Amino acid sequence: MRKVIVMTAILALTACGQESNDKIQQAKAASEPTVAQAPVAHWALEITEGQRATITDTTGRLMEHGFTPYIYEHDGVKHFLIGPYATQAQALETQEKIKQKPKLDGIETDIIELPASN
């Protein structure tokens, strides 16, 4: 009888240990870092307003309405941009929003594709 109790206890402990080991392995697998690709921004709006206003005036007007421009330099040429956007459709949507704001009248933009970063 004693052997049966000892064997039952050993089997029970072995089973508990296996379950705990499985849980530990699952936790380890879940905690390992996964590599996720973030959407790459390839599109932006280039501000082509011309000489009617300074960059600071244009920046101020845009920021008052929730658009944050920045200067991007590529191959020695500086570009005044809003964005970047993951898709051309997102850039087009922002361009339409700018056109609909009366206080941003005169700010012209072109949708451009940004060069791939190396």
pLDDT tens-digit series, residues 12-50: 555 555 555 666 666 555 555 555 454 567 899 998 865
Sheet of 109-113: strand order equals: 69-74, 77-85, 43-47, 109-113
- pLDDT number for residue 95: 93
Q: Residue 82 CA to chain centroid, in angstroms?
A: 16
Report the amino acid identity of residue 10: I
3-class state of residue 96 by DSSP: helix
Say if pTM beats, i.e. exceeds, 0.75: no
pLDDT tens-digit series, residues 57-70: 888 889 999 999 99
